[in-house]
Homo-oligomer: A and B are copies of this chain.
Amino acid sequence: MQKNLGKIAGVWPMPVLMIATYDEDGTVNVMNAAWGQVCDTDKLILILDGTHKTVANIRRRKAFTVALADWRHLAEADYFGTVSGNQVPDKFAMTGLVARKSEFVDAPVVEAFPFVMECELAEELPSIEGFVGRIVNAAADESVLDENGKVDPAKLGAIAFDPFRHGYYAIGEKVGRAWHDGRKFIR
């Protein structure tokens, strides 16, 4: 029996994305965003309220990086989502994390996070406050690669954002694929 609940935007699981940019003076800024998704084989979209310092930074430098937060850095990830770079200019420095300049785009890469996508701003979509990034390169820590050099999600330790209660969840076990022959559904 289903119950009507009204207007709930409950896409679940959501990722916990760490968006890193440079301020006007080159200071590293990192924010936490759940409203992001792949929108092409080499593009992703972020939905970002215009008040974020990150938005001004992206418009100025035309670049950003998007890393996946992992449970090992949950404290830092949540802090990046709670504290604003507008109020706390040394927000990033306070965490003690280290960033290097991306080899590919004019944005920082936070070294602690296990997987990062380095993006150029491809397009803005004002009607949804969307920022489309072209992924120029992705980089991963060697510890999260499998024997063929591919990213292994089980090793990443990424976390999921809960849109219903604003908490974080770990990712669980791999579950089997389905039983069908590509046309017929078979029980």
What is the 8 Å Cβ interface bit string for chain A, positions 66-107, against chain B (1 contact, 0 not)? 101001001111110011000110000011100000010000
- A176 is an interface residue with CB less than 8 A from chain B: yes
Measured CA separation A127–B124 after assembly (Å): 10
Would A171 and B1 count as touching, CB distance under 8 A? no
Minimum C-beta distance from A80 to chain B (A)? 9
* This chain's copy number in the assembly: 2
Measured CA separation A174–B129 after assembly (Å): 30
Measured CA separation A74–B180 after assembly (Å): 11
Minimum C-beta distance from A122 to chain B (A)? 9
By beta carbon, the residue of chain B nearest A93 is B185
Would B168 and A177 count as touching, CB distance under 8 A? yes
Q: What are some 11 contacts across the A-B interface (CB < 8 A)?
A: A8-B151, A10-B117, A11-B37, A13-B158, A45-B128, A45-B130, A74-B176, A79-B180, A123-B127, A167-B175, A170-B175
Of the candidates B15, B116, B153, which one forms a contact with A162 in the assembled complex, judged by CB atoms under 8 Å apart? B153
